[in-house]
Amino acid sequence: MTLNEFFNRIESQYNVELPFVVYRKPKENSINALLQKTDDLIFTQDFTEKGFVFSPFDNTEKSVLMPLEFSEKFKTAHTVLSDIVTSNNEPETQNNSEKEIHVNLVKSGVEAIKNNEFKKVVLSRSETVLLSDNNPLSIFKNLLEHYASAFVYCWYHPKVGLWLGATPETLVKIEGQRFSIMALAGTQNYKGSLDVTWQNKELQEQQYVTDFILDSIKDTIDNIKTSTVETVKAGNLLHLKTKIWGVLRPNAISLKDLLYSLHPTPAVCGLPKLDAKQFILKNESYNREFYTGFLGELNLDIILAPRSGKRNIENRAYATTKKSTQLYVNLRCMQLKENNAIIYVGGGITESSCPESEWEETVSKSLVIKKVL
């Protein structure tokens, strides 16, 4: 299937108002699509189903499932180049009312931390942008070209809405019993080099996420290993990342319980999780919906071939099929409503956070999305 045929097929699905998701995994050379055959709104019951799942921030709410058994799945080749980095130096229109609201929200968060209500909280805001082109596939193509190292997606259900994003953060990846996850936190603008200095605030923020993950998986994952902390680039931003991996203990925990022991992580919620989440739900002036939720492939079959060698034909006979779940945190995302894009941005707040700086961080993050509109 050619690239044009691929997108024409998705365009037809959108025009008849049937659910679909189109996505490209980080640094992969193919784009995947799942087209649901009816407009039924289906929810996952226990995360044992096969398909594509889209989960909200508030894990007391239901997760939407596009089931593999009721959908058409196909892919097309697409060459990945590298992230396009553009300057953040252009003037940004400041909305003083939005700024004041967010700065006051951050002040409330810092005060709550100083009062020992929690150690960290992630506070966010939404911003509405008028679109010159509201075709979601045009925006999706722009995201593909700009963010090669991100999970890029366009998700649509006529009974839920239309979302797009380019997220740098993996929630979990499980292939058979192999398990991996990342701790991603801290943000600064990319200025041409990965050799940067991080402040204690960002280092502490990232350590909170790492410690939370390790504590959450210690009873269900064997042979846990962690990488050193590294600086990674996502578009025009830099983050701190730690990779964590191991082996999932057989029958130790259901996938649903494992996911909800992790989600929402301190990278998108706070620590302790329940206290931070209640503060967010009470004090943020809008409903996050699927922003800072998670999405991705659920229990799809993959073929794991042995390493190639001289006896390739013999090796193929020993290829194994395993279930694969690859889920991503829904960051750097937007929701389309008529001629508007609603952009969602936030940042981690600790005791040492400066409200003005936190506002500027959300402005930088909003530019990641605005550059493709």
CA–CA distance, 154 with 36 (Å, rounded to integer): 14
CB 349 within 8 A of CB 113: yes
Q: What is the pTM of this model?
A: 0.92
Structure token pair of residue 166 = 């380019």
% residues pLDDT > 70 (the chain): 92
Give the tens place of pLDDT for each residue, 82-106. Answer: 666 555 444 455 578 999 999 999 9
Structure token pair of residue 251 = 């029958």
Average pLDDT over residues 76-80: 86
CA–CA distance, 110 with 38 (Å, rounded to integer): 47
pLDDT given at position 106: 97
Give the tens place of pLDDT for each residue, 11-56. Answer: 999 999 999 999 999 989 999 999 999 999 999 999 999 999 999 9
Structure token pair of residue 109 = 């968060």
Given strand 340-349, what is the order of strands in its sheet?
Answer: 71-77, 30-36, 20-24, 151-157, 161-167, 333-337, 340-349, 120-130, 270-271
For 57, list phi and psi in degrees, rounded to 5: -60, -45
Beta strands 30-36 and 270-271: pairing type? unpaired
CB 295 within 8 A of CB 327: yes
pLDDT beyond 90 at 321: no
Give the tens place of pLDDT for each residue, 129-169. Answer: 999 989 999 999 999 999 988 999 999 999 999 999 999 99
Closest-CA residue to 118 (of 126, 127, 109): 109
pLDDT given at position 312: 59
Beta strands 221-226 and 120-130: pairing type? unpaired
Average pLDDT over residues 235-253: 92
**Per-residue pLDDT band at 311 (split at 50, 70, 90):** low
% residues pLDDT > 90 (the chain): 78
pLDDT beyond 80 at 305: no
pLDDT given at position 73: 96
CATH architecture of residue range(s) 3-86+94-370? 4-Layer Sandwich (3.60)
Within 31-165, residue ranges assigned H as helices are: 96-114, 136-146
Mean pLDDT score of the chain:
91
pLDDT beyond 90 at 107: yes
pLDDT beyond 80 at 317: no
pLDDT given at position 91: 45
**Per-residue pLDDT band at 316 (split at 50, 70, 90):** low
Average pLDDT over residues 311-324: 69
pLDDT beyond 70 at 364: yes
pLDDT given at position 203: 92
Structure token pair of residue 181 = 């996850």
- The label of the residue with tokens 């709550």 reads 112
